[in-house]
Structure 1
Amino acid sequence: MRASGILMPIFSLPGRYGIGAFSEAAYRFVDFLESAGQKYWQILPLGPTSYGDSPYQSFSTFAGNPYFIDLDQLYGRGWLTQEDLDREAEGWPESGIDYHKLYTQRYDTLRLAYQRSNINQDPEFEEYVEANRDWLPDYALFMALKDRFGGVSFVHWEEKIRFRDPETLRTLEEEMQEEIRFQEFMQYVFHEHWENLRRYAGEHGIGFIGDIPIYVSEDSAEVWTHPELFKMDEAGNKVSVAGCPPDAFAVTGQLWGNPIYNWDAHRETGYDWWIRRLRACMEMFDVVRIDHFRGFESFYEIPAGDPTAERGVWTKGPGMDFFRAVQEALPDMKVIAEDLGFITDEVRQMVKDTGYPNMRVLEFAFDSNEPSGNSIYYPYNYDRNCVVYLGTHDNDPIVAWLQKFWETGVPQIKRYADVDTDDIMELARKMIILAHSSVADLCVLQMQDYLRTGAEGRINVPSTLGGNWMWRMAPGADSPELAARIADVTRRYGR
């Protein structure tokens, strides 16, 4: 079925408290999507962010980001006062996100809510904790310990804690019971607020496309509790790390630093950890976009400690053996395969064998060095079982992209679309039409594409630190007038 959606991170929503949340603005955005004729809201990963503030580097693959908790709902429960809200609303930048201020201030406010909640007497809270017993206690202890040790990575904790000596952990759990419960409280409230929003979206015909990073952060509860699932030496240090090889965009490659999976260990368990991870995503989202999908066929492996990605090698991944196990365990899971980057015939075959729709980025059709028409990103080279984007969160919004490629990409667009104009907004409109009118079953555009933002609207520049994950939509930008324009193009092309 042809459909369309909008990519809009939760953190990019407007609001009083410094970052987007599961707040009134989120419910208004659902209303906007419905009136714009959309079927999907695509978001970025929802996990608690670590160093660098990237949603793709999280302290846990199962936990949610406490920053997304709606403070106004906590006020409605009597857990926060108006004075608390007014204090939280002060001092935020007019645009962007001050993550340092969030880190140093928000948890104090959430702790006040916990102390006033009497949550330990709530049977629904106890039911939530019990239902998530397979990950929540480890995560809560991990985060409590991180707070105790000033936020340093667990690889620098004392040996008995780092290597999970049972007696030491039992002692710590008794000493830190209150802090552990606070961590569990934040997860309970996060999931309650998320489920409320998701239920509302479903009632209005909007499904969520979630996003799952292929890798986990080294400093995460998963690596601490399950080191056997990663390539570690006897001393508990990474043997190799993830990244991408050098290319035209990054001459020394991309050094992500995530630990590499020990796929032999995963295979021996029937991929149990991965299936539990994907099941959790399936329960949260209507569709799951798996990031860096090609890494399941072959992954780029860089010696730990190298300063760049130049000495990495390609290593075979689990391939279809993994996906057969996933599809047997989770036959109803809907997946989008993010197959961008260096793609081989083997990767293309694996994507085809899974049956999952893959991604086509229209900007890539006109910024490549391939002869005109050869690129797989040209719309006439699509098949129906794919998802078309103008760009992803790692690319410029369309107006900024047109400005950047004015001398090279724009002449190709004008020839392809048979237009003769130098009006950049008209060219942006033509690109939106090219995406919608393609045969791709699903069309997902960034909200910034519709808002016609410039480079300030870019979410992330890969392999850079600072200035990423910060764009926020201005209040009222998701207007009825914009919704009507989007609805018109949506109807026109049968989406």
Structure 2
Amino acid sequence: MNCQYNQSAPLDTRRSGVLLHLTSLPGPYGQGVIGEDAYRFVDFLKATGFTVWQTLPLGPTHGDGSPYQSLSVHAGNPHFIDLQWLVERGWLAEYDLHHCFTDAPYTSKYGRSKCISIAFNHFHKQLESETDKSEESQHFYRFIQEQAFWLDDFALYCALKNEQQQKSWVDWPDTLKNREAEALNEARIRLKAQVLSYQFEQFLFFSQWASLKNYANEQGIYLFGDLPIFVAHDSADVWAQRQFFKLNEQGHSDVVAGVPPDYFSATGQRWGNPHYHWENIEKTNFSWWQARIQTQKSLFDLVRIDHFRGFEASWEIPAEEETAINGRWVKSPGEKLLTALYQAYPDLALVAEDLGIITDEVNELREKFNLPGMKILQFAFSGESSNPYLPHNHQLNSVVYTGTHDNDTTQAWLNTLNDDEKHYLQQYFNFPYEQLNQVLMNTAMASVAKLAIIPMQDLMGLAEGERMNTPGTTEGNWQWQFSWAQLDEETKNLGRQMNTLYGRLVS
């Protein structure tokens, strides 16, 4: 194992964390935001001895709300913006804030957008009327200059997408779809105010997130992000840099991403994302990926590579196929890519999502760069003592979970097991079945794995109806929230007790 990689905090010592997406925080308008409740959650983590907060991807989503299909690999979701923060800066009146959300039949999504629009109009007037720029105006102009490498294209993409009634970029007029210089220049002039408003949204998101991250780090809490390996076809990234993706002249994919049939699905999973044109990316010394990681490092202290398997080889499915059955494995330049990333960012801290059927080549790549893999306790009890997820098979360089965002809560999972499976768990742990939710959390915390992550639902002992996502479905996902009333002193004491008992407190 090459130990020159992945030695930075938070992978430098034994510690623990909680998995909770930002949407799952309590929030006044249907979801969590980067506001008071986020800071309160940081305080909760500190009080209970957890030092890592893991979230799902934070990018702007499509209509299904999935954080794994984003409009940009760089941008933040404007729905996470704390509107009260705008009131405090005088860009939004309290009256406007309440009016946006009480004027039925408007949805909370519409209300947030309307409030941000009002704030932008105030801010825009401030920009135009200033002789000597204020400190916040200077921050704004500095932000759009520093982030121009992705923000210019993203803001224009959003403005054009709105002008084109939210159509995918492949359905725009050819001059815009193909990014002809004259058409883009005309669009920048025509949509100047709209482009500036989208830049303003991102300024708000990144400003608020930076403040939260600074606060968390000051409290000894590290932020753990999630990076989907593939990119949504309808995204600013694919539109702006088509040369880095396998697309035909019309902008469509001839092959799409997914995974082949396995014990989870007889037809595999057809995700539909475009594949990378690795040859073109490699010619630039992976500059596109370096830029992507640059943004992630500004947002997080630790990043999980979702579907790390794709760094070694990807399953290419002909676009006309309705399932993932008929595809082929195509090699990826993972070693060259990771070498380039660590040369650019020596202190980069990564975790490899290595779930599913993993080959020796994938393990060798992960181990070469000292990346922790994942151990999921809900996958452990298949009946074979060699199961890699069983506690006695865990490795130091790994991250252990009771379950992930794709799993049901551990208590709900326990309730679905048949008699043989229940008997196996009782034998393995020698505990009454009714206590196994707590036992599995203790097991994760006791594991030799350097990092243990407990989903918030498991920490709270929640059962059916409280899961975050059901893979293979499109309805009812990404909506779970907790309330502070559910967090009693017993839950807080439990976290502190487990961290103390299993040596995961970090001084």
TM interval, short-chain normalised = over 0.9
Q: 2:438 maps to what in 1?
A: 429
Match of 1:127 among 123, 126, 142: 142
State yes or no: 1:322 paired with 2:322: no
Match of 2:57 among 45, 50, 56: 45
State yes or no: 1:340 paired with 2:351: no
State yes or no: 1:67 paired with 2:79: yes
**RMSD (CA atoms):** 1.6
Tell me, in whole angstroms, the C-alpha distance in 1 between the residues paired with 2:57 and 2:268. 24
Letter in 1 for 2:460: L
Q: Which moved more, 1:13-22 or 1:399-408?
A: 399-408
**CA apart distance, 1:404:** 1.6
Asked if structure 1 preserves the Cα contact closer than 8 Å seen for 2:29 and 2:108, the reply is no
**CA apart distance, 1:410:** 2.3
| Percent of aligned pairs with the same amino acid | 40
Match of 2:36 among 15, 21, 24: 24
**CA apart distance, 1:348:** 1.0
Letter in 2 for 1:327: Y
Tell me, in whole angstroms, the C-alpha distance in 2 between the residues paired with 1:467 and 1:147. 26
Q: 1:412 maps to what in 2?
A: 424
Tell me, in whole angstroms, the C-alpha distance in 1 between the residues paired with 2:423 and 2:116. 53
Taking a change above 3 Å as real, the CA distance of residues 372 and 190 of structure 1, as seen in their structure-2 partners, is: same
**CA apart distance, 1:91:** 9.1
3-state SS of paired residue (1:270): coil
**CA apart distance, 1:30:** 0.4
**CA apart distance, 1:249:** 2.5
Unmatched segments (≥5 aa) in structure 1: 93-97
Letter in 1 for 2:112: R
Asked if structure 2 preserves the Cα contact closer than 8 Å seen for 1:16 and 1:89, the reply is no
Letter in 2 for 1:112: I
Letter in 2 for 1:372: E
State yes or no: 1:438 paired with 2:447: yes
Taking a change above 3 Å as real, the CA distance of residues 395 and 91 of structure 1, as seen in their structure-2 partners, is: farther
Asked if structure 2 preserves the Cα contact closer than 8 Å seen for 1:361 and 1:390, the reply is yes
Q: Which moved more, 1:42-51 or 1:80-89?
A: 80-89
The C-alpha deviation readout for 1:434-483, integer Å capped at 9, x for no partner, is: 11111011100100001111232211111211111110112333344321
Q: 1:291 maps to what in 2?
A: 306
Q: Which moved more, 1:159-168 or 1:296-305?
A: 296-305
Tell me, in whole angstroms, the C-alpha distance in 2 between the residues paired with 1:489 and 1:433. 7
Letter in 2 for 1:413: L
Asked if structure 2 preserves the Cα contact closer than 8 Å seen for 1:29 and 1:478, the reply is no
Q: 1:356 maps to what in 2?
A: 371
Q: 1:152 maps to what in 2?
A: 167
Match of 2:279 among 238, 261, 264: 264
Match of 1:452 among 431, 436, 461: 461
State yes or no: 1:397 paired with 2:412: no
What TM-score do you get using the length of structure 1 for normalisation? 0.95
Match of 2:388 among 376, 399, 405: 376
Match of 2:484 among 468, 475, 487: 475
Match of 1:56 among 54, 60, 68: 68
The C-alpha deviation readout for 1:10-48, integer Å capped at 9, x for no partner, is: 000001111110011101100000001011000110100
Asked if structure 2 preserves the Cα contact closer than 8 Å seen for 1:365 and 1:375, the reply is yes
Q: 2:6 maps to what in 1?
A: none
3-state SS of paired residue (1:300): strand
Tell me, in whole angstroms, the C-alpha distance in 1 between the residues paired with 2:46 and 2:487. 12
Match of 1:4 among 10, 16, 39: 16
3-state SS of paired residue (2:486): coil
State yes or no: 1:101 paired with 2:112: no
Q: Which moved more, 1:380-389 or 1:447-456?
A: 447-456
Unmatched segments (≥5 aa) in structure 2: 1-12, 128-132
Letter in 2 for 1:226: Q
**CA apart distance, 1:198:** 0.7
Tell me, in whole angstroms, the C-alpha distance in 2 between the residues paired with 1:408 and 1:461. 25
Tell me, in whole angstroms, the C-alpha distance in 1 between the residues paired with 2:420 and 2:430. 16
Asked if structure 1 preserves the Cα contact closer than 8 Å seen for 2:170 and 2:250, the reply is no
